[in-house]
Amino acid sequence: MQTDTMITRFAPSPTGPLHLGHAYSALLAHDMAMERGGDFLLRIEDIDQSRARPEWEAQIYQDLKWLGLWWPTPVMRQSERLDAYRDKLRWFWNHGYAFSCSCSRRDVMEAMSAPQEGAEPATGPDGLIYPGTCRASTNKSGTVQMPEDTAIRLMMDAVARKQGSAFTGSDLFSFEETGQGPNSETGRIEFSMQDAIDTIGDIVLARRDMGTSYHLSVVLDDAAQGVTHVVRGEDLFETTKIHVILQRVLKLPTPVYHHHTLIRDDAGKRLAKRDDARAISKYRDEGATPEDIRKMVGL
């Protein structure tokens, strides 16, 4: 149930040093909650165990504390919630929303017939729009066990069919955007089921090597933590549509979204984890104060 208290969160992956862009996101989420007497939460998104490192996680706590942020403990760590993700994944499977997929990226590329030579294959917020190769493996009868050794995809048009009278073709998905998307999208953002089928497609609900996906985990975690306002970079604006669809299917509340502009380097390129030059720890070691960091990111 949604309460009146604003709850925001910062959800970094411990796969590298936090840089100025992370500082901006964390400070913004923190300040928004504090201004309204709400709560700011931290969540460690470490489902990709091949890339997550304890030393990066330790550095996250150190950097954020240095910036003057405070959050309740224990902190939610995604690696400790794999059973919860698996349970919901099974729910999608058992209800005929999902199919198992053993395509490699290369298989997907080959199955996509580009309309003309040299044309870029269609991509959406989850990457290449899946051409449907493995769809026949859907658990239509409701009796097939979910395989444990393949990826599991959401069958997007099953969402349209299965939601039945609760969701007809003219219905729209929507969410409230209080920041803005990369093309200045703001306010009530709406998109149709058909848009989702055409421009998002059968997204991966669980990667073979992880048993879950960023989308499934983030949706379940935001709901489990009662997050009311998701503050994050505008690069995730289109991805939010996937999250809204999953919330609808799972009957979870859709938080308010606040996407912010990305901090860029002098050449206008967005910062990446490997941009150690912009790491918060580097600025700190060079004598910068948390106030200096706030000024650098425009807060």
SS3 breakdown of the chain: % helix, strand, coil, rounded to 5?
A: 40, 20, 45
Q: Select 13 or 59, whichever has its Cβ closest to ligand GLU.
A: 13
Pick one of 45, 126, 234, 238: the residue that binds ligand GLU (CB under 6 A): 45
Antiparallel, parallel or unpaired: β 204-206 and 151-154: antiparallel
Check residue 78 for interaction with ligand GLU (CB under 6 A).
Answer: no
Check residue 13 for interaction with ligand GLU (CB under 6 A).
Answer: yes
Check residue 19 for interaction with ligand GLU (CB under 6 A).
Answer: no
**Sign of the CA dihedral with 275 first, then 281, 284, and 290 last:** positive
Stretch that binds ligand GLU, among 7-15, 48-56, 93-101, 286-294 (CB under 6 A): 7-15
Between CA 78 and CA 221 the distance in angstroms is: 8
Stretch that binds ligand GLU, among 8-16, 69-77, 119-127, 140-148 (CB under 6 A): 8-16
Stretch that binds ligand GLU, among 10-18, 79-87, 112-120, 163-171 (CB under 6 A): 10-18
Rounded to a whole number of angstroms, the distance between the first and last alpha carbons of the chain is: 32
Cβ atoms of 88 and 55 closer than 8 Å: no
Binding mask 236-275 for ligand GLU (x = CB under 6 A): x---------------------------------------
Q: Select 63 or 139, whichever has its Cβ closest to ligand GLU.
A: 63
Q: Select 13 or 247, whichever has its Cβ closest to ligand GLU.
A: 13
Cβ atoms of 173 and 245 closer than 8 Å: yes
> Token pair for residue 222?
């935001």
Classify 81 as helix, strand or coil: coil
Between CA 20 and CA 22 the distance in angstroms is: 5
Q: Which residues bind ligand GLU (CB under 6 A)?
A: 11-13, 45, 218, 232, 236
